[in-house]
A = this chain, B = another copy of it.
Amino acid sequence: MDGMSRWEPNASERLLGAALSLYRENGYDQTTVAEIAERAGLTERTFFRYFGDKREVLFAGQGRLLELYAATIAAAPEPATPLDMVAAALQAGTPVFEERREFGRQRQAVIDSHPELQEREQLKRASMAAAMTEALQRRGVTELAASLAAEVAAIAFKTAFSRWVRDPGAPRLSQLIEEALAELRLLAAQPAG
């Protein structure tokens, strides 16, 4: 068996683990793709089969998450308001994060330490809102309401995730998402002064 066509079990997981360790030990800027591949016991060629660049390693899996969000919105049983639908989507995605809390915390610390990674994170959040907007429109929600509900969902997620990942004593992510959405509803419900 030569190295060219060898199937590598869990290659993407191994690369992600190696990248995260190296980013934490030596810094993101100082780490090369060659080092990540070596630490994972794989080749650079294998790295680039999975990821476009060394930023992208930290954001892999987003495509599947967006598909899950879109599918949950498409399948939400009637009657459901736009906020119900985005709330259901966010909740459907929480196990993905809950399963790997310590990983999530380490990953966030690396992102927070580097503006280039923060920019990529912003971009990923924008695609999350765009995916939800489209899914809501397919459910017959107007463009304005769909885009606002999707942005509200993105805020609720960002707020909840940030609390969850930074505070070791924080409750479950699903509960924090519920709290953020409840607080948003409360804010909006307060009669003008």
Contact = CB atoms under 8 A, between A and B. Distances in A.
Interface residues of A, number: 36
Contacts of A78: 193
Contacts of A119: 119, 122-123
A83 interface: yes
The A interface is mostly helix, strand or loop, or mixed, namely helix
A183 B145 contact: yes
21 contacts: A79-B193, A80-B193, A81-B190, A83-B187, A84-B193, A119-B122, A122-B122, A122-B123, A144-B159, A145-B187, A147-B159, A148-B155, A148-B180, A152-B155, A152-B187, A152-B188, A185-B188, A185-B189, A187-B188, A188-B188, A189-B189
Given A79-B193, A84-B192, 9 more contacts: A80-B193, A82-B187, A83-B187, A122-B123, A144-B180, A144-B183, A148-B180, A148-B187, A184-B188
